[in-house]
Amino acid sequence: MLALCGVMVGCLESVPMSSDGNASTARRGAGAHSIAVIGGDGIGPEVTAEALKVVAAAGVDLATTEFDLGGARYLRDGEILSDDTLEQLRSFDAILLGAVGTPEVPPGVIERGLLLKMRFELDLYVNQRPFIAAASNGSAGHDFVVIRENTEGPYVGEGGVLRRGTPNEVATQGSVNTYMGVERCIRYAFELAHGRPRRHLTLVHKTNVLTFAGDLWQRIFDEVASQFPDVATAYHHVDAACIHFVQDPGRYDVIVTDNLFGDILTDLGGAVSGGIGLASSANLNPARTGPSMFEPVHGSAPDIVGTAKANPTAAILSAALMLDFLGESAVATQIRAACADPVEGSTTSVGDIIASRVAG
């Protein structure tokens, strides 16, 4: 990944690790929001530090606890996300994550053992990613949000392999879609669309081929739509949506889709909105039965670690999403406004400039 210095807008202080290598805590006030911080691997700690700097400049009181998790921790002692650590995370108001993953760890180990385990066990069933681009060079600009179901689909790991490594190998990977999981995601998307000026929601799927899962999604979408008569609706096949993302992203307001399609579409959304390196995200538990988790989606970028080239804007905007969820919407809006004009410079200088804008 290359560092980018454009801006895509959609919401402390560091503390040392404890002697057990797991977590340590810093209290900043009795009324502080309790935040678990997972800097992770690569540029994750660098950009997370800048996000916390900007939140501090905005005057929001946080009580932070840092957790040493990610590929480096796994290589050191085998810890990915133990049940004991997961129980500790449940007690926080929110989790702010930088990035995890390192080339020395095989693909899927950290993704399934840490990220997916948090999504499933903490019931982070909504993945929300905003995409905004100003009008320029004949483009009308856009402002849309993708709501991705975050706990079902192919990511649950249903499937298996027979006769591995032979010419007769068979591999299956199922997609799990439940009424409960689909309905609560679609309902959240309708509620979000209802609160936005355009009040429009598009379902994206592949109902002409995925006739079982697609039929479930379409029927539930129509059912919930009847309860939101003021929200206009549309349906697009995922391949058509990819074309529209490139040619006319401004047609969208809110999109709701399944886990796999949402994963792909949101990377494309980042690419047409300033670059994936600027994309923020929220993994939400709207029922608030546990903490929600907020992270930039650019990855750990091991090729630029320590070069001061990493742009922290996505991490800062992810922190703004966190503040929205914690009821600090005015401050979140202030931070997004401070990120609206592109900033160039080193990782820390970008953070300093945005922090100074927020501090006013």
Region 269-286 average pLDDT: 93
Helix (H) or strand (E) holding 189: helix 179-194
Q: What is the pLDDT of residue 360?
A: 83
User: Which of 41, 53, 143, 155 is an active site residue?
Assistant: 155
User: Which of 53, 125, 143, 206 is an active site residue?
Assistant: 206
Region 158-183 average pLDDT: 97
The answer on pLDDT for 13 being more than 50 is no
Q: Which residue has the higher pLDDT, 360 or 56?
A: 56
Summarised one tens digit per residue, pLDDT across range 56-66 is 999 999 999 99
What distance in Å separates the CA atoms of residue 150 and residue 246, rounded to the nearest whole number? 24
Q: Please check whether residue 110 is in contact with residue 71, taking contact to mean a CB–CB distance below 8 angstroms.
A: yes
The answer on pLDDT for 3 being more than 80 is no
What distance in Å separates the CA atoms of residue 346 and residue 360, rounded to the nearest whole number? 21
Tell me which residue of 346, 322, 360, 324 sits closest to 12, measured CA to CA: 322
Helix (H) or strand (E) holding 200: strand 200-205
- Annotation says 125 is catalytic: no
Q: How far is CA 314 from the centre of its chain?
A: 10
The answer on pLDDT for 50 being more than 60 is yes
Q: What is the pLDDT of residue 23?
A: 52
Q: Which residue has the higher pLDDT, 13 or 342?
A: 342
Burial of 83: CB neighbours in 10 Å, binned 0-12, 13-18, 19+? exposed
Q: What is the pLDDT of residue 1?
A: 32
User: Which of 215, 222, 267, 303 is an active site residue?
Assistant: 267
Q: What is the pLDDT of residue 22?
A: 53
Burial of 346: CB neighbours in 10 Å, binned 0-12, 13-18, 19+? middle
Helix (H) or strand (E) holding 204: strand 200-205
CATH 3.40.50.620 fits domain 125-160+174-279: no
The answer on pLDDT for 24 being more than 60 is no
Summarised one tens digit per residue, pLDDT across range 175-189 is 999 999 999 999 999
What band does 278 get if pLDDT is binned at 50, 70 and 90? confident
What band does 20 get if pLDDT is binned at 50, 70 and 90? very low
For the chain, give the mean pLDDT: 91
Summarised one tens digit per residue, pLDDT across range 225-235 is 999 999 999 99
Q: Do domains 1-124+285-360 and 125-160+174-279 have the same CATH topology?
A: yes
The answer on pLDDT for 27 being more than 90 is no
Give the percent of the chain with pLDDT over 70. 92
Helical pair 329-339 and 313-325, crossing angle rounded to 10 deg: 160
Region 217-246 average pLDDT: 98
Q: Please check whether residue 116 is in contact with residue 155, taking contact to mean a CB–CB distance below 8 angstroms.
A: yes
- Annotation says 239 is catalytic: yes
- Annotation says 303 is catalytic: no
Burial profile 9-41: b = 16 or more Cβ within 10 angstroms, e = fewer:
bbbbeebeeeeeebbbebeeeeebbbbbbbbbb
Output DSSP code: residue 113. I
One CATH from 3.30.1360.120, 3.30.540.10, 3.40.718.10, 1.10.10.10 for 1-124+285-360: 3.40.718.10
What band does 139 get if pLDDT is binned at 50, 70 and 90? confident
User: Which of 68, 93, 263, 324 is an active site residue?
Assistant: 263
User: Which of 222, 239, 248, 303 is an active site residue?
Assistant: 239
Burial of 171: CB neighbours in 10 Å, binned 0-12, 13-18, 19+? exposed
What distance in Å separates the CA atoms of residue 50 and residue 44, rounded to the nearest whole number? 10
Q: What is the pTM of this model?
A: 0.90
Tell me which residue of 141, 265, 286 sits closest to 204, measured CA to CA: 265
Region 109-138 average pLDDT: 94
Domain segments of the chain as ranges: 1-124+285-360, 125-160+174-279
